[in-house]
């Protein structure tokens, strides 16, 4: 099968630190190639994959969007059997009317009006996947849609069946209000546990960090900055629990799968896709508020860490996700 995959133009594939979706694109591309498929990739110019790469040019808006669209148009001239987009739906405009089966993967809230417009142009040649049922269920009333969860490369995460008695809590993600870093701080303070905070701080959220996070830093609550894959494996594996006290509807939350791959249970608020990943009393706990999170932390040792690893092996491994995407490719090719 000849497959054209498109990434967003902003981060290389794979990324150096932040960039969960780019990691998924990387293992998907490499996995498809290992399975004997012919793969091309439209991506950031600093990407390093085994695929045939077409690089996006970096121009100033709006010329970057026009250029990026043309990059995909040129790559599609090689007549792939399937075009699989992880980038913007608008970038597919020049190829929408072609009969080539096209798959748009949503890793964020879908824009239904845009989907309806594109379906009217593409007819039966355009289908969608969501990274969770939470996302897919928003699309399927308007277009063909399948759920393919996100996943991780298990070989990059070391399973730890036991951790130290005083093992810390970990928060890893963008440091911003909707991610709930301040809630993780409160949970640590109320339980007296050590908390390690990792992640990047965008310029627009520097004030949030300065006002709601920095004043609470101490020898018990530390901000350690962004982490790479090696550092992430060590950080997550040494934790007694990973905290996901979000204040938005999370489309998936790859970091939960990364934590579980290390054997670390997750405590999260049941928003968006979190209840699809965290199973109460099996691989973590769902908590409705800070009080519920504190209560869950008091019984975190009751979670068998092997259940966390098993969750990822059964549902969120790279091999599983590659197979699921291949299954969708075959389905949409039959309908073409």
Condensed to tens digits (0 to 9), the pLDDT of residues 225-250 reads 999 889 999 999 999 999 999 999 99
DSSP 8-state symbol, 317: B
DSSP 8-state symbol, 57: P
The confidence score (pLDDT) of residue 233 equals: 97
Say whether both 160 and 309 belong to one domain.
yes
Say whether both 309 and 171 belong to one domain.
yes
Domains contained in the chain, number: 2
pTM of the entire structure?
Answer: 0.94
**Helices 181-191 and 290-298, packing angle to 10 deg:** 50
Q: What are phi and psi of 66, to 5 degrees?
A: -65, -45
Average pLDDT across the chain, whole number: 94
Say whether both 167 and 297 belong to one domain.
yes
Say whether both 61 and 170 belong to one domain.
no
Say whether both 8 and 92 belong to one domain.
yes
The confidence score (pLDDT) of residue 178 equals: 98
Q: Of the given ranges (20-24, 138-142, 302-306, 318-322), which has the lowest mean pLDDT?
A: 20-24
Q: What is the CATH number of the domain that holds 73?
A: 3.40.50.2000
Residue 166 has pLDDT above 90, yes or no: yes
Say whether both 290 and 162 belong to one domain.
yes
CB atoms within 10 A of CB 335: 10
Collapsing DSSP states into helix, strand and coil, what is residue 151?
Answer: coil
Burial pattern 231-258, b for ≥16 Cβ within 10 A else e, equals: ebbebbbbbbbbbbbbeeebbbbbbbbb
Distance of alpha carbon 256 from alpha carbon 283, whole angstroms: 10
Condensed to tens digits (0 to 9), the pLDDT of residues 249-284 reads 999 999 999 999 999 999 999 999 999 999 999 999
DSSP string, 163-197: --TTPPEEEES--SGGGTHHHHHHHHHHHT--EEE
The confidence score (pLDDT) of residue 63 equals: 55
Average pLDDT score over residue span 22-32: 96
Distance of alpha carbon 13 from alpha carbon 142, whole angstroms: 31
The confidence score (pLDDT) of residue 67 equals: 83
Say whether both 146 and 184 belong to one domain.
no
Say whether both 304 and 184 belong to one domain.
yes
Say whether both 199 and 287 belong to one domain.
yes
């Amino acid at each position: 099968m000849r497959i054209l995959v498109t990434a967003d133009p902003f981060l290389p594939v794979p990324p150096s630190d932040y960039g969960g979706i780019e990691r998924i694109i990387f293992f998907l591309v490499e996995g498809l190639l290992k399975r004997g498929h012919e793969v091309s990739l439209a991506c950031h110019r600093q990407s390093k994959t085994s695929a045939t790469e077409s690089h996006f040019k970096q121009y100033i808006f709006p010329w970057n969007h026009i250029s990026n669209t043309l990059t995909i148009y040129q790559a599609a001239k090689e007549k792939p059997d399937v075009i699989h987009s992880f980038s913007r739906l608008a970038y597919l405009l020049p190829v929408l009317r072609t009969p080539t089966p096209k798959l748009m993967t949503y890793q964020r809230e879908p824009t239904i009006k845009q989907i309806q417009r594109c379906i009217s142009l593409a007819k039966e040649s355009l289908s969608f996947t969501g990274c969770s049922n939470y996302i897919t269920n928003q699309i399927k009333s308007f277009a063909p849609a399948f759920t393919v969860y996100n996943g991780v490369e298990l070989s990059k995460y070391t399973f730890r069946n036991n951790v130290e008695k005083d093992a810390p809590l970990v928060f890893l993600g963008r440091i911003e209000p909707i991610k709930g870093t301040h809630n993780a701080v409160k949970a640590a303070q109320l339980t007296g546990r050590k908390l390690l905070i990792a992640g990047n701080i965008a310029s627009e959220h520097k004030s949030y960090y300065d006002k709601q996070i920095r004043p609470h830093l101490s020898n018990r609550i530390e901000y350690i900055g962004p982490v790479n894959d090696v550092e992430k494996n060590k950080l997550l594996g040494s934790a007694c629990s990973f905290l996901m006290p979000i204040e938005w509807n999370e489309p998936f939350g790859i970091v939960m799968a990364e934590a579980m791959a290390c054997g670390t249970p997750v405590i999260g608020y049941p928003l968006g896709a979190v209840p699809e990943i965290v199973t109460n009393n099996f691989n973590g706990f769902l908590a409705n508020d800070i009080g519920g999170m504190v209560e869950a932390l008091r019984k975190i040792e009751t979670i068998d860490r092997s259940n966390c690893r098993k969750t990822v092996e059964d549902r969120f491994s790279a091999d599983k996700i590659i197979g699921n995407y291949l299954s969708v490719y075959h389905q949409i090719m039959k309908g073409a």
